Amino acid sequence: MWWFFSVIFGSVFLFSVVLSIPVAFDVGGRDSGLAYSLSLFIYYLAYSAIRIVTPDKSRLGWTVSTALRLSQWIVIPTLLIWALGQFAVDAGSTNWVERTMGGLFHSKSTSWTEWMFGKDGVLETVMLGTWDNVLRYSGPVFQLLEGFCTLLVIQASGQITRWLVNRGRSDTWVIVLLTFSGSIIASAVYFLWRVAQFPQISNLDATLIGVTMTTAVFLCAYGIGSGRGSPVESSLLFAYVVLCVYQIFTDYLPSDGTSHVDEQGPTQPEIPPLPPIIMASYSTLLHILGSLPSAIHSSLALLYAAFQTITPSVIISLTYRLFVFYSATRIIPSVRDLGARALMHEPDFDDSETASKVLGFLSWFSPSILVAVYTSLLLQHFSTSEGPDGWTLRGGDVGGGTWRWINIGLTMVLYGVELCLGSDEQDHWKVD
């Protein structure tokens, strides 16, 4: 029963962070969003540190853990109100260095204390500037970590599927897993076909896509044929490569229809961001929600408006990164010994392996990492040249394609090295 309440509290925390940070950016501007995310980051750093040093099985530890968990209901809205109140006006194109030095030379009547610790003071501005630069330069790091953790998840999935097949008394698991792998590959091929329909694909892009997909198909075929891989591993690798390629060329938004057409000719329909069956289900859901009572409808409309401030690619990228980072910190270190039961265990600092200790340590600070990753994704789409308020979070991706290509290459290279160094003994699906 306790794990159920833990899931509920974790879901509420995730939901509040996902909604409140973009609201701070959209309402108050860049400085407001940075101040709010930085304050959340520092709060959860202290939160995690206190939980680590407090013994879990004592009365004191239970009291402290409960108090910290309940404090989120007060701290999160308080920090949001504070950030919107203190940083409601965005600084425009002036960077933090210019604002700090400008305040030094133009504010002659301000005392040293106010200049250092007051509003728009050196301490405040330098902290925001440092946080801004850290998030900006950590974007490629998060991208490469995503590929590395994805590779770990793929390898762990291969281990689990081999265990299921070799422990089974029939070929049921073989059929189920082959069907699962085929479904993943078919879905990936569909989205790859969608990429080929994008009008912005140049000759260089087409060449890179061709080389990438050929390499991925070769690695998948070699892994299955040599017995060092499995159909599940190969399908997941292929799907991840297609996902990265898809993210490079789209923002999960409908096409703007800017292709050159005759004025009297029929206009081409917009390309939906997802397959038609998903879009039809989404439209049906919106129709059902529209028939609810007015109070519930107003609440849902408020949530919908909050989600509308976020670019779809940010939500999809955040969801995927949370999944692979969580898998790397919880499932991967213990899957060799516990299998699926590793999901129910907290990270153990007494583990003898250094890698498991590091991953367990990072899992304790996962709330702070979540805030940093999410804010970094939001900043990629923040623009001060559009929107009625002078800024928007839906300004489109501002780069990062090069690092995504590098991530794809490194992921396939690491997987290829793993296949070459791996042993084909006891790695086949069925050992009779």
The amino acid sitting at 60 is L
State whether 25 and 153 are in the same domain: no
Beta carbons of 332 and 351 less than 8 angstroms apart: no
Tell me the per-residue pLDDT of 371-406, one tens digit each, with 9 for 90 and over.
999 999 888 888 766 556 667 777 655 556 888 999
Give yes or no: residues 53 and 152 share one domain.
no
Q: Which of 64, 93, 122 is the last residue of a domain?
A: 93
Q: Is residue 13 part of a domain?
A: yes
The one-character DSSP state at 100 is H
d(CA 310, CA 61): 38
How large a percentage of the chain has pLDDT more than 90? Answer: 22
Give tens-digit pLDDT for 123-140.
Answer: 677 788 889 889 988 989
- Please, is 176 exposed, middle or buried when counting C-beta atoms within 10 Å of its C-beta (0-12, 13-18, 19+)? middle
Instruction: Compute the distance between CA of residue 330 and CA of residue 143 in angstroms, rounded to an integer.
Output: 20
Residues 312 and 364 in one domain: yes
- DSSP characters for 255-300? ----S---TTSPPPPPPPSS-HHHHHHHHHHHHHHHTS-HHHHHHH
Alpha carbons 85 and 106: distance in angstroms, whole number = 24
For residue 190, the model assigns a pLDDT of 92
Last residue of a domain, one of 44, 61, 93: 93
> Do residues 51 and 140 both lie within one domain?
no
- Say whether both 87 and 138 belong to one domain: no
Nearest to 245 by CA among 196, 278, 312: 196
Judge if 3 and 137 occupy the same domain: no
The Cα 309–Cα 425 span in angstroms is 52
The answer to whether residue 34 sits within a structural domain is: yes
Distance CA 394, CA 305 (A): 13
| Residue 392 DSSP SS3 | strand
Q: Are residues 157 and 54 in the same domain?
A: no
**Same domain for 243 and 150:** yes
Would 186 be classed as within a structural domain?
Answer: yes
Say if residue 153 is in the same domain as residue 84: no
Which range (129-138, 276-285, 359-368) has the least confidence? 276-285
Are 152 and 160 in contact by the 8 Å Cβ rule? The answer is no
Same domain, 137 and 88: no
Nearest to 76 by CA among 131, 23, 39, 127: 39
- Based on the fold, state whether residues 233 and 351 are members of the same structural domain: yes
Question: What local confidence, expressed as pLDDT, does residue 340 receive?
Answer: 40
Give 392 or 198, the one with higher predicted confidence: 198
Nearest in space to 271 (alpha carbons), one of 252, 255, 257, 290: 255
pLDDT band for position 333 (cuts 50, 70, 90): low
**Highest mean pLDDT pick, 4-8, 52-56, 92-96:** 52-56
Q: What is the mean pLDDT of the chain?
A: 75
Whether residue 290 lies inside any domain: the answer is no
Residue, of 58 and 147, whose pLDDT is higher: 147
Q: At residue 113, does pLDDT exceed 90? A: no
Asked whether residue 264 is assigned to any structural domain, the reply reads: no
Residue 102 in domain: no
Predicted local distance difference test score (pLDDT) of residue 216: 95
Confidence of residue 343 (pLDDT cuts 50, 70, 90): very low
User: Residue 295 domain-assigned?
Assistant: no
Helical (H) or strand (E) element with 4? helix 2-28
Q: What does the pLDDT read at residue 66?
A: 78
Q: Are 373 and 230 part of one and the same domain?
A: yes
Range of lowest pLDDT (29-43, 80-94, 312-326, 385-399)? 385-399
Identify the domain containing residue 406 by its residue range.
133-253+304-422
Instruction: Tell me the whole-structure pTM to 2 decimals.
Output: 0.77
Asked if residues 142 and 373 have their Cβ atoms less than 8 Å apart, the reply is yes
Task: Please give the sequence-ordered ranges of beta strands (E in DSSP) within 288-343, or none if there are none.
Answer: none
Q: Could you tell me if residue 12 is inside a domain?
A: yes
Q: Which of 103-112, 193-202, 279-288 has the lowest mean pLDDT?
A: 103-112
Domain end point (choices 36, 71, 93): 93
Q: Give 213-218's long-range contacts (Cβ < 8 A, gap of 24+).
A: 213/241, 213/242, 213/245, 215/412, 216/241, 216/412
Q: Which residues contact 209 (CB under 8 A, 6 or more apart)?
A: 195, 201, 245
Number of domains in the chain: 2
